[in-house]
Structure 1
Amino acid sequence: MKIMIASDIHGSAYYCKKMVELYQEEGAEKLLLLGDILYHGPRNDLPEAYEPKKVIEMLNSISQEILCVRGNCEAEVDQMVLNFPVLAEYCILYLGNRMMFVTHGHKINPEHLPPLKKGDILLNGHTHVPKCRGYGEGGQIDYIYMNPGSVSIPKENSPHSYMLLEDNRFTWKDFEGNAYMEYNIK
């Protein structure tokens, strides 16, 4: 199964449209959203084409294909307008014998870990910065931390980006479709 992973749309109709187009071009079967879908939040400037109602319309049109976790900008009113669950704090996916703990990242992150076993993956959004890093001590990797970056408000000079997961390979891509980082699970 091919899964597109994206985070932090923040109500940008312009970047949501690009994301949905890329989702379709990539031929992904599921879209995993890591929160902060409609609202821009008080710490962020308004993203380009801030039009949450258009974002609602675009995402509801593919609601059967979306998995989502709650970001720090989601509210109960968001669930009233979106046709897919957006209020789950986390979800757990399995890649063979590895657990992938998926959450937005504002509560559970490398500084506040969930229960992870050696080789598990922590997948967050929230920081708006793409990452793939192994954490551990003494040269041993205990877990892998991943972040797709942000759809609409990238930070630290990162591109507008998303990730693909297919055949145990994670690929980070910019919105021109260029792969710029990859991680293969062994």
Structure 2
Amino acid sequence: MKLMFASDIHGSLPATERVLDIFAHSQARWLIILGDVLYHGPRNALPEGYAPAQVAERLNEVAAQIITVRGNCDSEVDQMLLHFPLMAPWQQVLLPSGRLFLTHGHLYSPEQPPALAAGDILASGHTHIPVAEQRGEIVVFNPGSVSIPKGVFPASYGMLDDDVLTIHALADGKVIADVAITP
């Protein structure tokens, strides 16, 4: 199964347009959004092209293909604009190789993980810093932010294709990091 990951959109319409274009051409079955969809939050500067209502409209066009979790900047008011569930603090997707535990990163994180089994994947956003690595018996995956990247990293998104998680630069698709998920 091929999956696409985006996190920390923070209401950026240009980032959303780029994500949706990549998703449309990726042949991914699902677009997984790891929180902070519409609002930029009080600690972040306004992202380029801040237009949360238009972001909601564009994402609603593919609502049936979105799996998402609530970020620390997401609210019940945001849910009123979206045609897909946003309020779950975590989700799980079962893969042949293990469980994909989806969370934003402010409740569960690599430093405060939920109970996970060997072969599971902890996928989160929140830090805006891309990570794809094996840590002990689990894989830690953070696709970074599509709108407000931090550190030395560009805006980025993730893909799961076959048994490899990959992080790509949003602008040019260049691979930033990858990790195999087979035990």
Show the counterpart of 1:72: 72
Q: 4+ runs of 1 displaced by more than 4 Å?
A: none
Show the counterpart of 2:177: 181
Show the counterpart of 2:38: 38
Which of 137, 155, 159 is the aligned partner of 2:154? Answer: 159
Show the counterpart of 1:170: 165
> Contact between 2:13 and 2:54, CA under 8 Å: does it hold in 1?
yes
Q: One-letter code of the match for 1:162?
A: Y
Structure 1 residue 22: Cα displacement: 1.0
Q: Distance in 2 between matches of 1:100 and 1:30?
A: 13
Structure 1 residue 132: Cα displacement: 1.7
Structure 1 residue 97: Cα displacement: 4.1
Q: CA RMSD for the aligned pairs?
A: 1.1
TM (norm. structure 1) is 0.93
Cα deviation 1:29-85 (Å, max 9, x = unaligned) = 210000000000000000001000110110011111111000001111111110000
Show the counterpart of 1:109: 109
Percent identity reads 45
- 170-179 vs 34-43, greater mean Cα deviation: 170-179
Show the counterpart of 1:55: 55
User: How many residues matched?
Assistant: 181
- 97-106 vs 59-68, greater mean Cα deviation: 97-106
Question: Highest CA radius of gyration, 1 or 2?
Answer: 1
Q: Distance in 1 between matches of 2:5 and 2:52?
A: 20
Q: Distance in 2 between matches of 1:97 and 1:132?
A: 16
TM (norm. structure 2) is 0.95
> Contact between 1:5 and 1:33, CA under 8 Å: does it hold in 2?
yes
Secondary structure of the residue aligned to 1:155 is coil
Q: Distance in 2 between matches of 1:81 and 1:53?
A: 7
- Where do 5+ consecutive residues of structure 2 fail to align? none
> Contact between 2:132 and 2:165, CA under 8 Å: does it hold in 1?
no
- Where do 5+ consecutive residues of structure 1 fail to align? 136-140
> Contact between 2:33 and 2:67, CA under 8 Å: does it hold in 1?
yes
